[in-house]
């Protein structure tokens, strides 16, 4: 088994960062996120490889919060596209957790399948190597196992397993093999035993819920469940699988550029139409849509739920709304 000693971790980061932009889980001030390794300042920042989930999931590696799409100019009725920004440079995401990697696989389904590949997403995805860290000790808000994620066997480019004083290093794809080559001088061949997986403390019963939800669209329970929701949208921005975006234009006279940016289905404006009609005018309707999309519609379309059990929305919701409790209530409702 290949082992990377923890004493050689920063040397490995330096070598990987010479080949690609390297993003690692880091605490910077009040926020933890996957941030570029060269920005790490010892004594001020903290590496968060032990954190099960940093505050911000690394979905922006493939779906940035804002990205330019193309530049245009107009001359009367003549409009010309001058440049399309589909280029992306090599990037390595180190230490993504298996639930968040499943989140990336959900995004792959949306942006790369069903006969259409989104060029902006595709260029980033092709240029990104994911090194996933297996989870042997689930946290108090984790329930990935209930949502079909194997916490120790993510299908990323490389999987690493924390052995205490080092990481077992397991390349799984050609991209993973190439990345392994970059640090081959730091890896040692040794025998090692992987840790035991500790039990999950949160018990979540998702099985069968997608089928049941087909009959609950008009159920009055949505009024009760959505009542505390303030439609702030932080649950969608923190979620590794939420992918809704808006496309906007920034123009300067006769020229400008189009860009896309994250949006949230919890906002009234999200479905507001030009004539003033809004199919999801009420907060209850937006709330219901979010949970049906995660637990029923995505499952029907792609064969897996759009929640990967990371637990972030349970932590950030100012109203204390928990998708775990919602699943339970929906399961029990008559």
Give all strands (DSSP E) within 134-200, no chain letters.
Answer: 158-162, 166-171, 187-189
Among 58, 95, 294, 299, contact with ligand SF4 (rule: CB under 6 A):
294
**C-beta closer to ligand SF4: residue 69 or 307:** 307
The torsion angles phi and psi of 305, rounded to 5 degrees, stand at -75, 160
Give bridge partners of residue 78 from the DSSP assignment. Answer: 75
Q: Judging by beta carbons within 10 Å of its beta carbon (0-12, 13-18, 19+), is residue 20 exposed, middle or buried?
A: middle
The helix/strand count (H/E) of the chain reads as 11, 13
The distance of closest approach from Cβ of residue 193 to ligand SF4 in the complex, given in angstroms and rounded to an integer, is 31
CB of 265 to ligand SF4, least distance (A): 9
Q: In terms of CB distance, is 138 or 311 closer to ligand SF4? A: 311
Query: What strands, in cross-sheet order, belong to the sheet with 255-262?
Result: 78-84, 66-75, 255-262, 245-252
Binding mask 217-256 for ligand SF4 (x = CB under 6 A): ------------xxxxxxx--xxxx---------------
Sole binder of ligand SF4 in the list 16, 149, 163, 323 (CB under 6 A): 323
Give the CA angle between residues 101, 43, 34 to the nearest 5°.
15
Q: How far is the CB of 142 from ligand SF4 (least distance, A)?
A: 9
Task: Sort 250 into a burial class: Cβ within 10 Å, 0-12 / 13-18 / 19+.
Answer: exposed
Q: Is 104 in the site for ligand SF4 (CB under 6 A)?
A: no
Q: Which 8-state DSSP code applies to residue 296?
A: I
Q: Is residue 106 a contact residue for ligand SF4 (CB under 6 A)?
A: no
Give the binding-site size for ligand SF4 (rule: CB under 6 A): 25
Query: CA 180 → CA 146, 172, 189, distances in Å?
Result: 32, 10, 13
Nearest to 95 by CA among 141, 33, 137, 145: 33
Quick one: 27 or 283, whose CB is closer to ligand SF4?
A: 283
- Helix 174-182 / helix 9-19 crossing angle, nearest 10 deg: 110
Rounded CA gap, 12 and 328, in Å?
44
158 is an interface residue for ligand SF4 by CB under 6 A: no
Contact between 112 and ligand SF4 by CB under 6 A: the answer reads no
Question: Does position 159 bind ligand SF4 by CB under 6 A?
Answer: no
- As measured in angstroms, the least distance from the Cβ of 229 to ligand SF4 is 3
Shortest distance in whole angstroms from residue 307 CB to ligand SF4: 3
| Cβ-based nearer residue to ligand SF4, 36 or 228 | 228
Please report whether residue 82 would count as binding ligand SF4 according to CB under 6 A.
Answer: no
Among 104, 131, 156, 308, which residue interacts with ligand SF4 (rule: CB under 6 A)? 308
Distance CA 67, CA 308 (A): 25
**Under rule CB under 6 A, residue 33 binds ligand SF4:** no
Nearer to ligand SF4, 255 or 319 (CB): 319
Q: Is 210 in the site for ligand SF4 (CB under 6 A)?
A: no
Is 310 an interacting residue with respect to ligand SF4 (CB under 6 A)?
A: yes
For the CB of residue 154, give the shortest distance to ligand SF4 in the complex, in Å: 15
Q: Got the DSSP string for 206-254? A: -TTHHHHHTT-TT-THHHHHHTT-----HHHHH-SS---EEEEEEEETT
Does 311 contact ligand SF4 by CB under 6 A? Answer: yes
Query: Nearest distance from residue 319's CB to ligand SF4, in Å?
Result: 4
The residues that touch ligand SF4, with contacts defined as CB under 6 A, are 229-235, 238-241, 266, 294, 307-313, 317-319, 321, 323
């Amino acid at each position: 088994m290949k082992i990377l000693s923890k004493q050689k971790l920063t040397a490995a980061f330096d070598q990987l960062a010479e080949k690609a932009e390297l993003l690692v889980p880091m605490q910077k001030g009040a926020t933890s996120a996957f941030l570029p390794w060269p920005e790490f300042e010892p004594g001020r920042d903290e590496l968060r490889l032990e954190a099960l989930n940093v505050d911000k999931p690394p979905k922006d590696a493939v779906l940035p919060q804002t990205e330019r799409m193309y530049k245009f100019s107009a001359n009367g009725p003549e409009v010309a596209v001058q440049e399309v920004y589909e280029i992306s440079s090599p990037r390595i995401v180190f230490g993504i957790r298996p639930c968040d990697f499943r989140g990336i696989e959900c995004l792959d389904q949306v942006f790369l399948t069903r006969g259409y590949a989104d060029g902006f997403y595709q260029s980033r995805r092709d240029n990104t190597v994911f090194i996933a860290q297996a989870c042997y000790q689930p946290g108090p808000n984790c329930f990935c196992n209930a949502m079909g994620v194997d916490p120790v066997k993510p299908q990323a480019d490389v999987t690493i397993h924390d052995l205490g004083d080092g990481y077992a290093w397991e390349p799984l794809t050609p991209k993973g093999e190439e990345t392994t080559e970059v640090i081959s001088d730091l890896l040692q061949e040794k025998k090692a035993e992987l840790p035991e997986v500790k039990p999950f403390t949160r018990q979540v019963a998702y099985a069968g819920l997608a089928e049941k939800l087909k009959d609950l669209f008009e159920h009055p329970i949505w009024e009760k469940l959505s009542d505390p929701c303030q439609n702030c949208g932080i649950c969608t921005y923190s979620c590794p699988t939420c992918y809704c975006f808006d496309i906007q234009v920034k123009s300067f006279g006769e020229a400008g550029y189009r860009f896309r940016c994250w949006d949230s289905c919890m906002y009234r404006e999200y479905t507001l139409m030009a004539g003033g009609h809004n199919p999801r005018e009420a907060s209850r309707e937006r709330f219901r849509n979010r949970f049906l999309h995660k637990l029923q519609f995505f499952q029907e379309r792609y064969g897996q739920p759009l929640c990967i059990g990371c637990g972030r929305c349970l932590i950030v919701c100012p109203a204390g709304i928990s998708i775990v409790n919602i699943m339970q209530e929906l399961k029990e409702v008559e």
